[in-house]
């Protein structure tokens, strides 16, 4: 049951669904045959980004005046669903759903004209560098600094677990421009750093337990000089900007995890109907049917909630708490589905040659990135 065949979906119109077919055809042709090679190399080539840009898959919300299609977030969600369901890994959601939003909302006119057309075309690949070796969810504890020197910032520090780190041409770096600010968040800014700046270095292509083709890296900044015009928005407002964009970021994660959970379920139904055990099919056992029935009911609820959240966001009404709840609920559902579906595969589920094994490994990080699920509970709890 692909995302567009789930009964009763309400988030999308006919134009969205026509776009979905374009995206699906592209991924089947240009993505699926190459995933094995990309996983081996632990990198999706830049050429794939450029091809995706040609058909409008990147940053579809960018206004036409900056080279985009001027569409709504529903088109981003379509891309997220299809890539997650089909299983083509690339950091498109980070560029389209997160970085693009920062530039659109807070970028100067000069920054928008310089970068947005390049993001849309895939000519420029972006990353956002928040996490540091000793700092995860607690952003106020970052140590990367951007000190003023004349009309420049001099940036020093290191970042880790950075999506698109190896491919990135432009990095949005969260740094402290005022280390003495009280409270600490008022001293944080977002600095645009081009990858060809002297002193910028890429570290290791990190070896993860899942999402093998996803480009995740270390980044280092050693006396990197950038003009003060590279500050995104106002100096000292970086933390506020980050918080204001979180509902969309977390909704994006919810979209992808729901679609991948549905894919795991569909794979498992097919597997159990063809796998023999004790002179019958695995699917015919009562336990199998009960497990799958339970998951089917939860997936049904998941799609209904997801459509509700997308529609709320399209109207500008999705709150940070609702975004956190969506991220929490759908990633927990994804893990439950993955784990139970792997179990129904038996020994085959532990073999990487079966899709469920790769999906299970890839799903583990969903409850960590975008803010750990423990942090999501804390945020929701504060609103009660």
The count of residues in the chain is 384
Domain segments of the chain: what residues? 3-124, 127-235, 245-382
**Is the pLDDT reported for residue 299 higher than 70?**
yes
Residues 338-352 pLDDT 10s: 999 999 999 999 999
Question: Per-residue pLDDT tens for 179-208?
Answer: 888 887 899 999 999 999 999 999 998 989
The mean per-residue pLDDT over the stretch 55-66 comes to: 96
Question: How high is the mean pLDDT of the chain?
Answer: 94
CATH topology for the 127-235 domain: Butyryl-CoA Dehydrogenase, subunit A; domain 2 (2.40.110)
Q: What percent of the chain is modeled with pLDDT above 70?
A: 99
d(CA 39, CA 298): 31
Question: What pLDDT, on the 0 to 100 scale, is given for residue 180?
Answer: 84
The stretch 209-223 carries a mean pLDDT of 92
> What is the pLDDT, as a whole number, of residue 256?
97
pLDDT at residue 365 in the model:
95
The answer on pLDDT for 366 being more than 80 is: yes
Flag whether pLDDT at 137 surpasses 70. no
Q: Which residues are catalytic?
A: 249
Q: Which residue has the higher pLDDT, 42 or 299?
A: 299
**CATH code given to domain 245-382:** 1.20.140.10
Taking 80 as the threshold, does the pLDDT of residue 136 lie above it? no
pLDDT at position 214: 86
pLDDT tops 90 at residue 141:
no
Domain 3-124 = CATH 1.10.540.10: yes
Whether the per-residue pLDDT at 268 is higher than 80: the answer is yes
Instruction: Report the distance separating Cα 2 and Cα 86, nearest Å.
Output: 9
Give 274-296 pLDDT, tens digit per residue. Answer: 988 887 889 999 999 999 999 99
Tokens coding 356: 């469920």
Helix (H, G, I), strand (E, B) or coil at 203: strand
Decide if 95 contacts 164 (C-beta within 8 A).
yes
């Amino acid at each position: 049951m692909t995302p567009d065949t789930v009964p009763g979906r309400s988030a999308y119109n006919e134009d969205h669904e026509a776009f979905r077919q374009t995206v699906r055809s592209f991924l089947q042709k240009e993505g699926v045959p190459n995933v094995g090679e990309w996983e081996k190399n632990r990198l999706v080539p830049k050429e794939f980004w450029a091809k995706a840009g040609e058909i409008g898959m990147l940053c579809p919300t960018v206004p036409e005046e900056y080279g985009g299609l001027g569409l709504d977030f529903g088109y981003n969600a379509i891309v997220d669903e299809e890539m997650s369901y089909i299983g083509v890994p690339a950091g498109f959601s980070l560029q389209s759903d997160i970085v693009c939003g920062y530039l659109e909302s807070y970028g100067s006119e000069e920054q928008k004209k310089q970068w947005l057309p390049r993001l849309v075309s895939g000519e420029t690949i972006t990353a956002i560098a928040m996490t540091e070796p000793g700092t995860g969810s607690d952003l106020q504890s970052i140590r990367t600094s951007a000190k003023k020197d004349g009309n420049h910032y001099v940036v020093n520090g290191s970042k880790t677990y950075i999506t698109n780190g190896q491919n990135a041409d432009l990095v949005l770096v969260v740094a402290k421009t005022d280390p003495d600010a009280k409270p600490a968040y008022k001293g944080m800014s977002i600095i645009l750093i081009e990858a060809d700046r002297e002193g910028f270095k890429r570290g290791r292509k990190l070896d993860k337990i899942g999402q093998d083709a996803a480009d995740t890296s270390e980044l280092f900044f050693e006396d990197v000089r950038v003009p003060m015009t590279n500050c995104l928005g106002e100096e000292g407002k970086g933390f506020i900007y980050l918080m204001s964009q979180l509902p969309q970021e977390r909704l994006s994660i919810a979209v992808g995890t729901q679609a991948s959970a549905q894919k795991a379920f569909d794979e498992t139904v097919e597997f159990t109907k063809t796998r023999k055990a004790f002179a019958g099919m695995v699917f015919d056992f009562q336990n199998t049917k009960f497990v799958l029935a339970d998951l089917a009911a939860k997936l049904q609820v998941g799609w209904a909630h997801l459509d509700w959240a997308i529609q709320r966001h399209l109207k500008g009404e999705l709150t940070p708490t609702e975004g956190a709840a969506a991220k929490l609920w759908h990633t927990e559902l994804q893990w439950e589905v993955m784990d139970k579906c792997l179990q129904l595969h038996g020994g085959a589920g532990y073999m990487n040659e079966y899709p469920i094994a790769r999906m299970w490994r890839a799903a583990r990080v969903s409850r960590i990135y975008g803010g750990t699920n423990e942090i999501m509970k804390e945020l929701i709890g504060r609103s009660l």
